[in-house]
Amino acid sequence: MDEVKQLEEKEKKLEDIRKESEDKKCPVQRMLYYMEQFIAGPMCSRCFPCSLGTAEAKIRLEKISTHADNTNIKDVETIKRIGSMMIEGSFCKKGKDTGKFIIDLINSSEEEFRNHISGICSSTECIALIEYFIDPELCTMCGKCLEVCKEKAILGEKKRPFQTGYLPFEIRKKRCTRCGECIKVCPTGAIRINILQPEFVEK
Ligand code: SF4
Ligand code: SF4
Ligand code: SF4
């Protein structure tokens, strides 16, 4: 394959990454996904503003998405500055477009970035900032969630005819990886996601 064709394929991939990232409702997760895919794919490391900038942006986004110690608004400002530096100093369109992507997303989602700095992900996609729980009022003890949970994070006893004194269904927070498999199979909507208050986010 000639060089021009190879470059065209890479350009197409950048556009694919952008489209795929739109599946994420949370802007922090969207940008993190884009960075991870860009670094793993079309980013060639030939110039510093792009290679160092995306690496640093990824680290800061991971920090924000987990509400790590000392996360603060300066992390968002730094990511935005990285975006500007990439637009100015990147050698090629891929780096410049990525810088523009960063700035546009922060500008259009300022409030959500600020909420993350307070430890809140309202889209419930930052798994460190949420917890799963079972509403006992809606749980019919069918046991479907128990079958799909690979982490053995669910306690409970499936309902059987003529039996009393059941162990109610409950999610053990320490074991739960927030994979979301149980929600998909629950027929009654008894499994819910709770947005953690910042003081309860584990670091
Ligand atoms: S801006 Fe272009 S040349 Fe520079 S590292 Fe990024 S992809 Fe490579
Ligand atoms: S979210 Fe995943 S790990 Fe947590 S209880 Fe449901 S299936 Fe188990
Ligand atoms: S799948 Fe839903 S209804 Fe069935 S046991 Fe689990 S929480 Fe209860």
Q: Which residues of the chain have pLDDT under 50?
A: none
pTM: 0.85
What pLDDT, on a 0 to 100 scale, did the predictor assign at position 12? 64
Which residue in 118, 129, 174, 117 sits closest to 151, CA to CA? 174
What pLDDT, on a 0 to 100 scale, did the predictor assign at position 201? 67
Q: Is 129 in the pocket of ligand 1 (CB under 6 A)?
A: no
What pLDDT, on a 0 to 100 scale, did the predictor assign at position 1? 52
- What 3-state DSSP class applies to 195? strand
What pLDDT, on a 0 to 100 scale, did the predictor assign at position 164? 73
Instruction: Give me the percent of the chain exceeding a pLDDT of 90.
Output: 82
Q: Could you identify the residue written with the tokens 């994070």?
A: 153
What pLDDT, on a 0 to 100 scale, did the predictor assign at position 200? 65
Q: Could you identify the residue written with the tokens 């046991």?
A: 143
Ligand 1 centroid, distance to 35 Cα (angstroms): 13
Q: Is 153 in the pocket of ligand 2 (CB under 6 A)?
A: yes
Q: Is 90 in the pocket of ligand 1 (CB under 6 A)?
A: yes
Ligand 1 nearest-atom number relative to CA 92: 2
Cα gap 57→31, rounded to integer Å:
9
Distance of CA 62 to the CA centre of its chain: 9
- Which structural domains are found in the chain, ordered by start? 2-117 (1.20.1440), 127-198 (3.30.70.20)
Residue 182: which H helix or E strand, with range? Answer: helix 181-185
What pLDDT, on a 0 to 100 scale, did the predictor assign at position 160? 79
Residues enclosing ligand 3, CB less than 6 A? Answer: 134, 139-145, 169, 185-186, 188, 190-191
The model's pLDDT over 151-196, given as tens digits with 9 standing for 90+, comes to 999 999 888 777 777 788 999 999 999 999 999 999 999 999 998 8
Structure tokens at 25: 């409702």
Cα gap 70→59, rounded to integer Å:
13
What pLDDT, on a 0 to 100 scale, did the predictor assign at position 203? 60
Cβ(179)–Cβ(48) below 8 Å = no
What pLDDT, on a 0 to 100 scale, did the predictor assign at position 196? 85
